[in-house]
Amino acid sequence: MRQQSPGIATIQLLAAREFATLFKKVCSSTLEDAEEQRRLIEDVVKESVVIEWPRTFPGVFPDQAESELDFAPLIHRARNVVKCRTSHPTMRVKICAISESNEMMCPQVAETFYRASLVKLSGDTSDCKLRQIAGKMILTQREGIAATKSAEQSGAVVSAEGKLLCSQSSSHSQIMLFANKLSEPMVRTTTLKYENGVLCATFPEIVSFYVERNPSIPSLMGVTLNSMVDRRTLSTRYAIQVEVHINIDNRIIVTHTLVSHPFLIAITNDQTEPLLQSIFWHRLLNCDQQESSDYFPDKSQLDWGTLRQALRAFIKAQVPTARFLSDCELRHIQTMLLLPRILKCGSTNELQLLEINMFGTIERQERDLHEEMKRLRNRLLATSVLDTFLIER
């Protein structure tokens, strides 16, 4: 299950142009206070840093053969090998303020350094220094793609601590500040990379996950989670924390830290389904997963109107080329959900009360209980229940 955003080419490129224009304007402005101008440049660059999860789909728009969407994963599944047949998410960090077209008109970027870590999210902790490192990550390799080719294209490597590293520099730069300063000797430096004219770093097929029982046992490739509580509850939220270091013209050093969207980690395939159900239900209720229905009874039910909208778009959210469900298909799902309630009724009075709750009105009644159940089943297939009707998980 993934979080789908609009096409990157339509929204984020527009945002990149706005940031690039603002960056150019700030750099060319003549302020009396040079320190104030430096702070403005830093603020613009920091605000322009975004994390994307690009994925290409065919046939999304009629005028484009392929479209790139920002498709952030909600669940990462465990893998214990580097080489794999299935695809893994690709993460891209973009600095929208730094445009290739502005390279000659603005202070030039001498060096960039990116370091990504797996962190555990807890409460309202916004300070990156307080976020707990949750484990390690690896870069997987798709079958049929040469490892050297992939490494040369992205420049991404993995440190001994399981952090993803990427170092870039301009062809004119002679000083490598960040690799030495941050004590990351394993990093390899490549030239500055641009995607659609925007400075970026790409971490392809980035994450395999593995949970071990004891931190003293050598881990397999992937992420090592040391908390058995997190493994049992399946409710711990994780994110990828990215540190971005930018050397602008050897005069301005910009350091910024941001986190990706939150996600869960499924250790086995058996855990994927309950994780999906948990995410789906709690997001529809707009409540936190830690809010138990024992303490919040109102969190155990969801109105049909909200659930119907989610079901209508559910398949299209997974496969962008698919269509929305029709009203007829939604009524069939409605019948599948509510027919068991009808069959549990032991009298016509119970059926009458249920019909009022579902539809707000009562149609012509049958004397026989079984005939009355058939009538209500047919009504479910033909008519949508009230949007306010509550569905239990």
Domains with residue ranges and CATH for the chain: 2-268 (2.60.40.630), 292-392 (no CATH)
* C-alpha 370 chain-centroid distance: 48
pLDDT 10s digits, 313-346: 877 776 767 788 899 999 999 999 999 999 999 8
Whether 183 has a pLDDT exceeding 80, the answer reads: yes
Distance in angstroms (rounded) separating the CA atoms of residues 22 and 43: 11
pLDDT for residue 123: 63
pTM above 0.75, yes or no: no
Helices (H), the chain: 8-28, 34-47, 147-154, 177-181, 228-233, 272-285, 304-318, 327-344, 348-359, 369-382
> Which of 2-6, 34-38, 244-248: highest mean pLDDT?
244-248
* 61-68 mean pLDDT: 77
pLDDT for residue 155: 83
**Using CB atoms within 10 A of its CB, is residue 317 exposed (0-12), middle (13-18) or buried (19+)?**
middle
Distance in angstroms (rounded) separating the CA atoms of residues 90 and 203: 6
pLDDT band at 172 (very low <50, low <70, confident <90, very high): confident
- Which of 186, 209, 185 shows the shortest CA–CA distance to 82? 209
* 66-78 mean pLDDT: 75
* 146-160 mean pLDDT: 67
Whether 81 has a pLDDT exceeding 80, the answer reads: no
Tokens at residue 378, please?
């047919």
For the chain, percent of residues with pLDDT exceeding 70:
70
Contact call for residues 112 and 247 (beta carbons, < 8 A): yes
Tokens at residue 232, please?
């049992």
pLDDT band at 253 (very low <50, low <70, confident <90, very high): very high
pLDDT for residue 255: 96
Q: Which residue has the higher pLDDT, 309 or 74?
A: 309
Whether 227 has a pLDDT exceeding 80, the answer reads: no
Handedness of CA 63, 68, 74, 77 (dihedral sign): positive
Q: Which residue has the higher pLDDT, 289 or 100?
A: 100
pLDDT for residue 263: 82
> Which of 2-11, 50-59, 237-246, 366-375: highest mean pLDDT?
237-246
Helix and strand counts by DSSP (H, E) for the chain = 10, 22
pLDDT for residue 149: 47
pLDDT band at 109 (very low <50, low <70, confident <90, very high): very high
Q: Which residue has the higher pLDDT, 6 or 284?
A: 284
pLDDT for residue 129: 64
For the chain, percent of residues with pLDDT exceeding 90:
27
* 83-103 mean pLDDT: 81
Whether 216 has a pLDDT exceeding 70, the answer reads: no
pLDDT band at 292 (very low <50, low <70, confident <90, very high): very low
Transcribe 63-90 into DSSP letters. T-SEEEEEEEESEEEB---SEESS----
Whether 72 has a pLDDT exceeding 60, the answer reads: yes
Whether 353 has a pLDDT exceeding 80, the answer reads: yes
Q: Which helix (H) or strand (E) element contains residue 116?
A: strand 109-121
pLDDT 10s digits, 36-57: 889 999 999 999 999 998 888 7
* 354-381 mean pLDDT: 89
pLDDT band at 265 (very low <50, low <70, confident <90, very high): confident
Average pLDDT taken over every residue of the chain: 77
Distance in angstroms (rounded) separating the CA atoms of residues 84 and 147: 12
* 102-129 mean pLDDT: 80
* 28-34 mean pLDDT: 78
